[in-house]
Structure 1
Amino acid sequence: MTNADSPFEYISSAKLPTRFGQFTIHGFVEVATDQEHVALSYGEWQDDEVVPIRIHSECLTGDALFSTRCDCGFQLEKALQNIVEHGKGVILYLRQEGRGIGLLNKIRAYHLQDNGMDTVEANEHLGFDADLRDYRICRFMLDHLHIHKVQLMTNNPRKIKALTDLGIEVVGRTPIDHGITDDNKGYIRTKTQKLGHEFDPHLLK
């Protein structure tokens, strides 16, 4: 739990066995909206240690339905593997589907992409910014887990800036160029060209 003045609240934790290893799942909520988020932690660390983490925004289609039109599910799986291999780490799993526009609007955006728009054009055509995600709860989650220095698994420099702006020390970035398919190369090229994501260009040929 937390104090009444905080916009976020810790709910509870429990063991979460997975095919990668045994994690602990921690539940959090945004008080004003009742939006739920979770963190998956593995291993132990001291307060001053650098801990590998990934901030992963929910993607039902990729994470749970195995879609290959994005790289989200592949990246989540790779991040879980990396953490277990490292012996410690955390996934901050934020319920911000479709870069913050929600599942049904994401399906509408997919329809527009099926008819020629790219992912940024589709979101903007629906009246949204290209990326509406909010990372403020990450500081609360990391504080709860006693993490102050991180090695961030990401291809998105905006996540580095978001954590830095929140007072989290980002010691380094681990690329996660994983899950590039013929179905999602165009999507990834758009993220690279319009949203500043960093991918090995040889993988996108």
Structure 2
Amino acid sequence: MTVSDGVFGDSVRPSGVERVVDVRLSTSHGDFLAIGYLDRESGDEQMVLVYGDAEKEGALVRVHSECLTGDVFGSKHCECGDQLSAALHAIVTEGRGILVYLQGHEGRGIGLLGKLRAMKLQAEGLDTVEANLALGFPADARDYRVAAEILHELGVESVRLLSNNPLKREALLRHGIKITEQVPLLIPPREENMSYLWTKRERLDHYLPHLDSVAD
């Protein structure tokens, strides 16, 4: 299965994003259409990977927050890198879908240095929410406006959202994205990230039922 030519309907481009470049990208998961966007409001450069005919209703969509430590360095502290790989695999297996990779979301929106400082506090006994709050940040500072505007620009009519996070779903709905289904993205936990995952479930209401089968 190959990507389409990258022309998505006749929808009007939202004023907040500018589509800058389309290029074919071959990856270990498959061949995607990589689309680069400029967020005019923040100045952030954003990237989307499209596989197959994703213009139709019900495309499988992953909105993935950047995580340098997990996505690039394979940190065991979180599940981000594993989720990124699993999402791309799921999209290719299904035959069509979109991955929106969001810059500016490091550490749930507090930046790389903020995240590293929060990780240091976690090593001293705080959970991820407590660490963010102790540094004067919100528990989750992410904004999904640009993701919604990109999906609108692509002409996507509705999505099946690949996520465990109810706040992400609510944010996309507020920005006019129709969600027909929320598809869980469950990654087997590791000893190193069990506390992190329990905090996401108990304090941030993430859908992580598979933790029930893991012994304390």
TM-score past 0.5 threshold:
yes
Per the alignment, in what secondary structure is the counterpart of residue 192 of structure 2?
coil
Q: TM-score, normalised by structure 1?
A: 0.94
Aligned to 1:142: 151
Does residue 35 of the first structure (1) align with residue 56 of the second (2)?
no
Q: How many positions carry a matched residue from both structures?
A: 202
In the aligned structure 1, how far is the partner of 2:35 from the partner of 2:195?
A: 35
64-73 or 30-39, which moves further after superposition? 30-39
Deviation at 1:146, TM superposition (A): 1.5
Task: Give structure 2 stretches of 5+ with no counterpart.
Answer: 1-11
Aligned to 1:153: 162
111-120 or 162-171, which moves further after superposition? 162-171
Deviation at 1:202, TM superposition (A): 2.4
In the aligned structure 2, how far is the partner of 1:124 from the partner of 1:78?
A: 30
Per the alignment, in what secondary structure is the counterpart of residue 171 of structure 2?
helix
Q: Give matches, 1:16-95, under 5 Å.
A: 16-47=25-56, 49-95=57-103
Per the alignment, in what secondary structure is the counterpart of residue 168 of structure 1?
coil
**Sequence identity (%):** 41
In the aligned structure 1, how far is the partner of 2:154 from the partner of 2:134?
A: 39
Note the alpha carbon deviations across 1:30-75, whole angstroms, 9 max, x for none.
Answer: 213311111111011444x210001100000000000011010001
Task: Give structure 1 stretches of 5+ with no counterpart.
Answer: none
Deviation at 1:173, TM superposition (A): 1.1
Q: Is contact 2:48–2:98 with CA below 8 Å preserved after alignment?
A: yes
Kindly provide the amino acid, as one letter, of the partner of residue 202 in structure 1: D
Cα RMSD between the aligned structures? 1.6
In the aligned structure 1, how far is the partner of 2:214 from the partner of 2:174?
A: 31
Kindly provide the amino acid, as one letter, of the partner of residue 131 in structure 1: D
Deviation at 1:203, TM superposition (A): 4.4
Runs of 4 or more consecutive aligned structure 1 residues displaced over 6 Å after TM superposition: none
